[in-house]
Copies of this chain bind each other. A is one copy, B any other.
C-alpha cells in the first residue's frame, strides 16, 4: 500500500481486497495477469510461441470490488514485453490496450468509462472519477484484450470501505478455447468479446482462452483447459485449424475424458467476407473442416454423451451483405452481439439442465 496525499494505492494481487476473475491460474501465477500457467511456459512456447505471447494479454479478466470511495483511480504498469502491442491497424488503442469500467453488480452492470491508453512503457495513472458522493458502489474492471499488463494499483480514498463483490449467479466459469475472434478481435473495447458479452448476459464468470492465429488445437492446450473446472467448455478454434484438423477430435476427447460431466459446445466457424467471391472453393474448405467437427459430435452422441452440443456461428455470420467484420474476417461489435444473442440462451439452457 502506497499513499499520495489524498489517495491510497492498493495493489491488485492474490489475497488482496480485490477479486480477480477470468485468469485460471491467477493464484498459482502469484498474481501475474497471464492466462496460462507460468510454470508451463517452456512447453507452451515450444508448442507455439504466439500462444505464450498472447497468454500475457488478459482478455476478459476482471477485477471486482465494492467501495464507498469518492475517487477511483488506476495506476497501470504496462507489460514490458517488447512484443506487447499498443494498437493494430484494425483495432484502436482503446480496443487493444484499454480497460473498461462497469458499475453495478453482475446481472445489472452498466458500462461507464474506459482508460485512454498512453503509448510506451511508463507507468501511467488514470482517473476514472473523483469527488463523488461517498456511497457503496460495485465495480468491475475488464483488463485489456490484446496488450500486456505488468501490475495494477487501484487508488481510493485513504479511509474508503472496500468489500468483496457480489457473486456471479453462475460461479463456475464458462471456459472457451479459440482464435483471434474468440480473443475479441476486433471488438471496439476489451469487454465486448462475444464471451465477455455472453458472461454479462448470463451473470456468469468466464475464462477466455482465445489466442490470435494460434488456436491450433494443441493437445497441450486441451490438457491445460481441462485443469479448469467449468460450467461449460466451448471449443472454437476452427478458423485457425486449417492444417490442424487432425487434432480436433483428440482435443475434444481430452476434455471429455477428464470431465465426463461438463457440457462441451463445439462452435462452427463464421463465414468470411471473401467467400462471396470464392464460393465453391470456400464451401469445399468449410465443408472439410466441419465434416470433422460433426463426426466428432456424432461419435460422442453415439457413445451416449448427452452433454455435447453444436453452436452454429456460421449460420449467424454469413458472407455477403454488410458483413459485421472490420476487415472481412474479424468481427465488429455488431458481429459479437449477433453471436452473443444466440449463444447466451443456448448456454443458459445447458447450465440450467446440468444444475451448475
Contact = CB atoms under 8 A, between A and B. Distances in A.
A268 interface: no
Contacts of A189: 326-327, 332
A75 interface: no
Given A94-B327, A111-B323, A192-B322, 18 more contacts: A89-B92, A90-B93, A92-B95, A92-B326, A103-B276, A110-B273, A110-B321, A111-B273, A112-B274, A112-B276, A114-B327, A114-B328, A129-B277, A188-B326, A189-B326, A197-B322, A200-B322, A332-B333
Contacts of A332: 188-189, 192, 332-334
A117 to B, nearest CB: 7
Label chain A's interface by main secondary structure. mixed
Contacts of A116: 89
Interface residues on A, range: 35 or more
Contacts of A322: 111, 192, 197, 200
Contacts of A95: 92, 326
B110 A276 contact: yes
B326 A110 contact: no
Contact of A87 (B92, B103, B111, B334): B92
Interface string A173-204: 00000000000001011001000010010000
Contacts of A88: 92
A193 to B, nearest CB: 12
A113 interface: yes
A186 B93 CA distance: 13
A276 B108 CA distance: 12
Contacts of A334: 332-334, 336-337
A144 interface: no
A186 B91 CA distance: 11
